A and B are shown apart, each in its own frame.
Chain A
Amino acid sequence: MIELDVNGKKQSVDAAPDTPLLYVLRDHLAMNGAKFGCGLGQCGACTVMVDGDAVFSCLTPVAVLAGRKIKTVEGLGTIENPSPLQRAFIDEQAAQCGYCIAGMIMRAQALLEKNPSPSDAEIRRHMMPNLCRCGTQMRIFRAVRRAAQAMQAGAVPDRGRA
């Protein structure tokens, strides 16, 4: 048994040590936000956060996660009360098929937690490992910038609750 801290909740999982975190999230914990894209760290659809950094959950074996904090898109907000990034992705209509979006949001979340006011170049460089095949990159880019501005202004859009 391996104990994982996912979104602040301790979870005991019966999985082989080299099992990818992605499989554990989806198959053992029924958390289907992170997606399987390529299984090789080439697309970023599986991106989650570990100790504040964006990582490819498809290439992160659970053996390296003991005592570390995992954050997934399920840990950000809810449908009623989306997080600033989720709100911004909705406002910019940044999803087309949507398959890459949970990974995009988690990579962007890691950026904004470390650097609340990234430059355009910093956003582009940081988001580079994540791919969108539909071609909504420019909307995704604008959504990240919008979320940064909203978080900076402290005026977190909160339409869901209002």
Chain B
Amino acid sequence: MKARSLLVGLAMSVATAGVLITPVSGDTPAAPAGKRAFDATVIARGAQLSAIGNCATCHTRPGGQSFAGGLALETPFGVIYSTNITPDVETGIGAWSESDFLRAMHDGVDRNGRNLYPAFPYDHFARVTDDDVNAIYAFIMTRDPVRATVPANRLAFPMNFRPMLSAWKALYLEKGVYRPDPDRSAEWNRGAYLVEGLGHCGACHTPRNAMGAETKDLYLGGGEAEGWHATAINASSPAPVPWTVDQLTRYLRQGWDDQHGHAAGPMTPVAHELAEVPEADIRAMATYLLAVMGRKEPAAMRAVAPGRDESRVQSGAAIFAGTCAGCHDEGASAISSIRTVPLAQTTSIHAPDPRNVLHIVLEGIWPEPGEKGVVMPGFEGALTDEQLASLLAYVRVHFANRPPWPDVSRQARDIIQHKNENER
């Protein structure tokens, strides 16, 4: 594997150059920070900032207590488990001082000076002001401490060798908090600050290079998240209907926009968290993101996309008629109580990667446990890989009029296999 050999080489050169010096914490608190008093307004602001940063989503395992860590994050380099960031002194970060926490967020090192993996997106959190980091610290330190030790990471050499992350940081970590652009509005700057910093949108929506770092010249150009395609949200956004600030604000806060679709997969918890954030902040993020996308015209009628397999499209049409049309027939559902996004307008069907459509067809859409929300049944088991490929061939041509996705049946098998392995 090319990435692996690059990394090995890098680790060796770091080791031989003797640059294994990592900073050591200079600040040891006299008492666990959780015992100290924090101003209630600061805690409340920290709660909102933590929601923008989506801290709870990664730092909570399924069914686990909030912020107690243990979620398995699959990376191309192996599995990393999120840490316990409750103020438990022994297994969490209860012994961390405010400056330890600030250093972790800005420099990606833990209290003992060990490098943290950039699965924790400190390349974004470096942009967050000290004041905001301190508010998050106040919020985190006033949560209930949870005693929970997380599993050890499963990473192969050289990625299990933390000192080499110093080299990664030297290459990819730009330090310095966000500097406002004086030529732009206050709202644009607020949005840019939140999107590039705490919101860390690029962590999923920007493609990563062989070293697992974001490709800066493809900023927000579409990436990966947990086996889903994180759609491009820059000028190459595949959304057929250009977003408006109102629509994107609504989508980010409610997880749904009736001209673009539903926040599914890894975006579900993001929207769930953002519902707690003041609308002005979300509107600022939407304003900035729209500026990144640039002015777009509604998609014009295209000529018939080439490369279609007519017999596949035909059999896909029959499957669609029996399986999907009850809710997703042309325009809208035949049944007034069912409100679906017209498929021709959903972003996923226009995206260059079929995985989001496959995930949704196979798994359906379900609200977070205990929450109300949109329900779509999943069709795993009802359709074979080949039938799924036919269905998607039809949907792609009929609703998006774009060239067919390649390799759909193989990707369907991969998704099902991965899900079955995780359930075991």
Contacts and interface: CB of A to CB of B under 8 A. Distances in A.
A39 B323 CA distance: 10
Contacts of B321: 18, 61
Interface in A48-64: 50-56, 59-64
Given A50-B381, A64-B382, A59 B366 contact: no
B172 interface: no
B385 to A, nearest CB: 12
A41 B377 contact: yes
A18 B377 contact: no
**Interface size classification for chain A:** 20 to 34
Interface string A55-81: 110011111100010000000000000
B307 interface: no
Interface string A83-114: 00000000000000000000000000010000
Contact of A64 (B364, B366, B383, B423): B383
Given A18-B321, A40-B338, A64-B387, A53 B381 contact: yes
A129 interface: yes
A19 interface: yes
Q: Which interface residue of B327, B335, B364, B377 has the most chain A CB atoms within 10 A?
A: B377
B322 interface: yes
Q: Which interface residue of B376, B379, B380 has the most chain A CB atoms within 10 A?
A: B379
A59 B322 CA distance: 6
Interface in A1-59: 17-20, 39-42, 50-56, 59
A128 interface: yes
Given A53-B382, A55-B382, A128-B366, A60 B322 contact: yes
Interface string B317-357: 01101110011000000010010000000000000000000
A59 B380 CA distance: 12
A121 interface: yes
Contact of A59 (B63, B326, B384): B326
Contacts of A18: 318, 321-322
Interface in A125-156: 128-129
Contacts of A40: 326-327, 335, 338, 377
Q: Which interface residue of B315, B376, B382 has the most chain A CB atoms within 10 A?
A: B382
A51 B381 contact: yes
A55 B322 contact: no
B171 interface: no
B375 interface: yes
Nearest to B324: A59
B377 A17 contact: no
Contact of A17 (B318, B338, B380, B387): B318
B283 to A, nearest CB: 34
A56 B382 contact: yes
A104 B335 CA distance: 25
A122 B327 CA distance: 29
A121 B423 CA distance: 12
Contact of B319 (A19, A63, A122): A63
Q: Which interface residue of A17, A40, A63 has the most chain B CB atoms within 10 A?
A: A40
Nearest to A61: B322
Contacts of A20: 322
Contacts of B384: 64, 68
B319 A61 contact: yes
A128 B375 CA distance: 11
A55 B379 contact: yes
Nearest to A19: B322
A128 B367 CA distance: 11
Contacts of B322: 17-20, 59-64
Contacts of B381: 50-55, 110
Nearest to A20: B322
Contact of B377 (A42, A51, A53): A42
B326 A63 contact: no
A20 B376 CA distance: 18
A20 to B, nearest CB: 6
Interface of B: 63, 315, 318-319, 321-323, 326-327, 335, 338, 364, 366, 375-384, 387, 423
Interface of A: 17-20, 39-42, 50-56, 59-64, 68, 110, 121-122, 128-129
Given A41-B326, A59-B326, 6 more contacts: A20-B322, A51-B381, A55-B382, A59-B377, A60-B382, A62-B322
List of 9 A-B pairs having minimum Cβ-Cβ separation, nearest first: A53-B381, A61-B322, A41-B377, A18-B322, A55-B382, A18-B321, A60-B382, A64-B387, A63-B318
16 contacts: A18-B322, A40-B335, A41-B326, A41-B377, A42-B377, A53-B380, A55-B379, A56-B377, A56-B382, A59-B382, A60-B382, A63-B315, A63-B318, A64-B322, A64-B323, A129-B364
